[in-house]
Amino acid sequence: MSAERPRLDAWLWHARCVRTRSAAADLVRAGRVRLNGTRVSAPAHVVRLGDTVTVALDSRVRVLRVAGFADRRGDAQAAQALYMEITEGPDGAV
């Protein structure tokens, strides 16, 4: 992933939100990803530092703040360096 124009699907894959990059692209196309509160349908959408990514997975919703980028997919510890998990309150407010 280019540090100049990081793609949303690649970032989701590098952050280990999904197992494959094609699964990340499918998740975005299905409308299950929001970027800064706006639903995104293009897997190639650009991600920037500080963006908030909300991902609706099968078992839960994850809210992540983009903290970094990677050129390659690393282990779980390396993936955790790419985001900060934002926890939601009981009423859904961040």
What pLDDT digit, counting tens, does each position of 18-41 carry? 999 999 999 999 999 999 999 999
Residue 90 pLDDT exceeds 90: no
- Report yes or no on 91 lying in a domain: no
- Report yes or no on 92 lying in a domain: no
Tell me the average pLDDT across 39-56: 96
CATH number, residue 80: 3.10.290.10
Percent of the chain with pLDDT over 70: 87
Determine the Cα–Cα distance for residues 31 and 69; give it in Å rounded to an integer: 23
Tell me the average pLDDT across 62-82: 95
Query: Contacts for 85-92 with beta carbons within 8 Å, 24 or more apart?
Result: 86/52, 87/63, 88/61, 88/63
Reported pTM: 0.86
pLDDT of res. 89: 47
- Residue 46 belongs to domain spanning: 8-86
- Report yes or no on 1 lying in a domain: no
- Report yes or no on 65 lying in a domain: yes
Tally of structural domains, the chain: 1
* Residue 17, CA distances (Å) to 24, 73, 74, 85 in order: 8, 12, 13, 12
